[in-house]
């Protein structure tokens, strides 16, 4: 049965079984319901003189923007004001490279401090420009506008794909042409259109390909 994250004694039993050497490491991992990676982790972490080494470590962040000394905050804000284009990672790297006499916070903490101090401008979302929703041509009769398009694909009994190409009159919705091909290509489309173009029309529509 897999051990829980709150039972270090099970981990100690696992360590003892590994040291006994009666079973293979993989077999012991299966017996205790853990992965080999987890087993190696606890073997490396185990300290015979300190059983607390098998306890769960705190997952709380090592530093928090509210616990950073004011002096460090002052250095960060001054450096950011001097280099407004630098992000948290670059600011932190600069401080580490210059061997400052204080503990440099994590990049995430630096980012929190900059936000708290109002040094991170809000990103303005670009408003999407609506496309041209007006019809390309006002359609009032047959053979005025035709639409050409590939209508997806489907698999044949031979397991090959068929790509159907259609040509439709936009006013009557009459299907002028429907041809299949094993792949979408310009020569195939050109051939289909050449056969159909003796018809009289004023405009044509097709998707960009």
List residues bridging with 50 in a β-sheet: 47
pLDDT of 96 over the 80 cut: yes
Q: Is residue 90 part of a domain?
A: yes
Q: Is residue 137 part of a domain?
A: no
Q: What is the CATH number of the domain that holds 98?
A: 1.10.10
How many structural domains compose the chain? 3
Show the domain range for 30.
Answer: 8-54
Q: Are residues 151 and 199 in the same domain?
A: yes
The CA–CA distances, whole Å, from 209 to 10, 134, 160, 186 equal: 62, 22, 22, 9
Q: Are residues 108 and 154 in the same domain?
A: no
pTM of the prediction?
0.34
Helix 8-20 / helix 36-45 crossing angle, nearest 10 deg = 90
Q: Is residue 153 part of a domain?
A: yes
Q: Are residues 157 and 199 in the same domain?
A: yes
Query: pLDDT tens-digit profile of 124-148?
Result: 666 666 655 555 567 888 888 888 8
The whole-number pLDDT of residue 6 equals 41
Query: pLDDT tens-digit profile of 144-187?
Result: 888 888 888 888 888 888 999 998 888 888 888 888 999 888 89
């Amino acid at each position: 049965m897999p051990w829980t994250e709150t039972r270090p004694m099970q981990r100690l039993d696992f360590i003892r079984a590994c040291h006994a050497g009666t079973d293979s490491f993989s077999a012991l991992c299966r017996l205790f319901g853990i992965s080999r990676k987890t087993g190696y982790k606890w073997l490396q972490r185990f300290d015979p003189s300190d059983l607390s080494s098998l306890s769960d470590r705190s997952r709380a962040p090592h530093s928090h923007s509210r616990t950073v000394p004011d002096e460090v905050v002052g250095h960060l804000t001054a450096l950011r004001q001097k280099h407004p284009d630098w992000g948290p990672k670059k600011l932190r790297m600069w401080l580490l490279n210059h061997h400052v006499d204080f503990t440099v916070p994590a990049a995430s903490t630096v980012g929190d401090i900059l936000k708290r101090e109002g040094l991170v401008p809000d990103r303005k979302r670009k408003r999407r420009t609506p496309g041209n929703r007006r019809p390309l041509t006002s359609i009032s009769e047959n053979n005025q506008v035709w639409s050409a398009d590939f209508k997806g694909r489907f698999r044949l009994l031979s397991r090959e794909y068929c790509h159907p190409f259609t040509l439709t009159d936009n006013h009557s919705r009459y299907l002028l042409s429907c041809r299949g091909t094993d792949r979408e290509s310009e020569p195939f489309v050109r051939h289909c259109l050449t056969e159909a173009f003796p018809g009289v029309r004023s405009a044509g529509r097709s998707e960009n390909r």
